[in-house]
A and B are shown apart, each in its own frame.
Chain A
Amino acid sequence: MSPIVQVRGLRYAYEDGTEALKGIDFELQPGETVALLGANGSGKTTFALHLNGLLRATSGTIAIDGLELRESNLKEIRRRVGLVFQDSDNQLFMPTVLEDVAFAPLAAGINSTAALAKAWLALEQVGMAHKAGKAPWHLSAGEKKRVAIAGILAEEPKILVLDEPTTFLDPPGQRGLAELLSSLPQAKILITHDVPFAARLAEVAVFFQEGRIAAKDTIPTIVRQFDW
């Protein structure tokens, strides 16, 4: 089976010259879930932003389901890779839940009827259809996260990348999120500091250290190796 994400020799430097990524090689199989662990500033989020073409690598290649990321196919890459950001408030920018979830399909140029159908489907998938008419600020943190995920699912992505999804969530919210995520068939990349949460969803973790992948192993091994 060919990998759905294939990254080779990825390097990235900020404008001031600091290297944030120093040669990343990474693979993800269809349906697989991998956790990205590592200290703050070790390059996890920077790496995730590359998968969606939001940051452009200094060198190296990224291929999503066999399609190599280029300026010309950014739109298609962004449709295939769904990025769920840490702060849901930044992601839910439309006035109502339904409009927000329908944003990506509408932006892709689908007609409103079809976009609405996709949005409803995604909302049902995350169990938030009953809040469709609400304004985002009326939602709890857990509900906001679910809606943010619905907004991504409406794009029908092949890969989900979740950046610190448990931030702001209470324990029931975290359990609910874990159940929701394990019910979704997509391949997942999970950036988190929450090891128990990662262990519920992923077998394998990669450990980021100063812009490099220091190890790839089962989660208990990684935790032991790096005293995490």
Chain B
Amino acid sequence: MRHARIDRWSRLDSPVHRLHPVAKVLAALGMLVAVATMTKPVLHLVAVYFAMLGVCVLAARLPVVRMLTGAAVVLPFACAIGVVSILSGDPNRAIMLLVRSYLSSLTALLLVASTPLSELLGGLDRLGAPAFLLQVMQFLYRYLMVLREEASAMRDAAASRAGSVRILEFKKAAGAAGVLFARAHTRASAIHRAMVARGFDGRMPTFRPTPLLLSDAIFAAAAVCAVVAARLALK
């Protein structure tokens, strides 16, 4: 499971993991913007960015090969559009699509693989993202696994009776989705009941946010400046 793996990675310990989520979000955004605005394939620049991300992956003690392959999930789509670009006589664009999408994907993966989602959401909260949305995301993430397990249990049950998953007819599939929906609904009420029983009054409590240290600020500033400077110096 991809998200169980990322969740495990995000709870490792390293200098990168210990950085404040706000600092990491800002650094990642800097990298993303710089990458997104690259228009010409400049080998030096791509190499510098790749090296920067690589250093962070190593410093975060993340498995290098699996990170590199994990970021490659964007490549099929990028390749498809890349082929179209080459066919329409624009190989530069094809290369840029591949480079930009891969570097961006690696940046995003590095961010979530070195920051537990709850802390990341806390960081986004401090950066002004709507709290309500973040809370919905938190619940979504928490119950992702639970509901997927229910769905696969239902699929197994259906398959053991029908002999095969593929024999499920359209209507039966809809019935399964309906039952899953009803169960999700029931679960949501049960969760709400458990929350109320423990004193929930409509506001999600949060820990007092961890303070942004000087080292975090220096990291964020240095990362963003390095990224932007490289982008503008290597043309």
Q: A residues touching B (Cβ–Cβ < 8 Å)?
A: 49, 52, 54, 75, 78-79, 83, 85, 87, 89-91, 93-96, 99, 102-104, 106-108, 111-113, 115-116, 133-137, 151-152, 155
Contacts and interface: CB of A to CB of B under 8 A. Distances in A.
Interface of B: 4, 7, 11, 116-118, 138-139, 141-142, 145-146, 187, 190-191, 193-201, 203, 205-208
Contact of A91 (B145, B194, B206): B194
Chain B: interface secondary structure? helix
20 contacts: A49-B193, A52-B197, A54-B197, A75-B199, A75-B201, A78-B196, A85-B190, A87-B190, A90-B187, A90-B191, A93-B139, A95-B118, A99-B207, A102-B205, A103-B198, A107-B205, A113-B208, A116-B207, A135-B142, A151-B198
A108 B205 CA distance: 9
A117 to B, nearest CB: 13
B196 A106 contact: no
A155 B198 contact: yes
Given A75-B199, A93-B191, A93-B194, A106 B7 contact: no
Given A93-B191, A116-B207, 13 more contacts: A54-B196, A78-B197, A85-B197, A87-B190, A93-B194, A94-B118, A95-B118, A103-B198, A103-B200, A107-B199, A107-B205, A111-B208, A112-B207
A78 B201 CA distance: 12
A111 B207 CA distance: 8
A93 B142 contact: yes
